[in-house]
Copies of this chain bind each other. A is one copy, B any other.
Amino acid sequence: MMVEGKLWRTIWREANPPAAGIIDQTRLPHAMVTRSLRTLEEAAESIRAMRVRGAPLIGATAAYGLWLAMRDDTSDAALERAIAVLLATRPTAVNLRWALARGREDLKPRKPEERVAAALALADRIAEEDVTLNRAIGEAGLPLMRSIAARKGPGEPVRVLTHCNAGWLATVDWGTATAPLYRAAEEGIPLHVWVDETRPRNQGSSLTAWELRQQGIAHTVIVDNAGGHLMQRGEVDLVLVGTDRTTSTGDVCNKIGTYLKALAAHDNGIPFHVALPSPTIDWEASDGLREIPIEERDPEEVTHLAGRLEDGSIARVSLTPPGTSAANPAFDITPARLVTGLITERGVCAASAEGLQGLFPERSS
């Protein structure tokens, strides 16, 4: 997508010296800074510190991390160690597990001397597939956008509420929840996006607001508390979010607070859709609340916050009385009963085992 009028992806291969290039998303929206990841450790650190985040981009970064690891040591032991190091960076994103499982499956049977080239080819393939998947999600979601637009007066925007960042910054390109929006914008459908700021890390007010601005899509930032009120007042046509992991039965694990928006959408008869690339489906899990572990992150993400001072420099401020304890669960589960539809690369389906099996019959058991 566009940054200052130029096309970018969130991760790319660099030749000299060999590296994976990324946008350091912890610096957005205040600065557009890139980094070159040259080692397994740098790739793992970037995932852990959320320089790259979003389930699909984490998967792609992990794949490049395997390549960087193989460049250093092509042994079986090094491969297993790299998988273990990368797997430990973030517990929730199922794409991470999925990308690493593909890496093991592809690389393990090969001779060590083939592994560097094979790991690079696999990482490139995973990145390209992500772009293709997300574009297909955009196509699959377009009829929904068109049908809402058709009920509107001329020039009246389709008003979408989104939570966190499931935009192109969370993927290699296009985004998941944003893909139908970007496709709708290409079609000339007027849009207005309510952007939940998404405490504690503010991925909405920093990343989603930034990327929508770069693509020229009208938007307004709100605190996470405000969405229910806007829905009560009839100011939201559609809630559209991403997911870090969705069970085979349609329970959606996504950024903390998603469940509250789903409840409000349900209470106000507003469609609540989840953009879902299939690598994000956990086919092993059938009960989100029981089976998906929720990452507990550093309480300082709640008690402290970074922003831009008047002079443009970045400062970290504390929000609570000294010594205050905080809890920081990073995700919650939206039960399938609250989800109107899942937008996958193969089309839209109900959030249920039947719905998902209809689109992915190869997975029915």
Which residues from chain A sit less than 8 Å from chain B, CB to CB? 29, 194, 197-200, 202, 205-206, 209-210, 213, 219-230, 232-233, 255-257, 259-261, 263-264, 267, 289, 294, 302-310, 315-321, 323-329, 331-333
Contacts and interface: CB of A to CB of B under 8 A. Distances in A.
A223 B200 contact: yes
Nearest to A325: B220
This chain's copy number in the assembly: 2
Contacts of A264: 259-260, 263
B228 A320 contact: no
Contact of A226 (B206, B257, B263): B257
A259 B229 contact: yes
Contacts of A329: 226, 229-230
Given A197-B199, A199-B197, A326-B220, A225 B317 contact: no
A328 to B, nearest CB: 8
A29 B226 CA distance: 24
A197 to B, nearest CB: 7
A353 B334 CA distance: 34
Contacts of A320: 29, 205-206, 209, 221
Given A199-B197, A229-B259, A220 B321 contact: no
A95 B229 CA distance: 23
A256 B333 CA distance: 22
A267 B335 CA distance: 11
B324 A318 contact: no
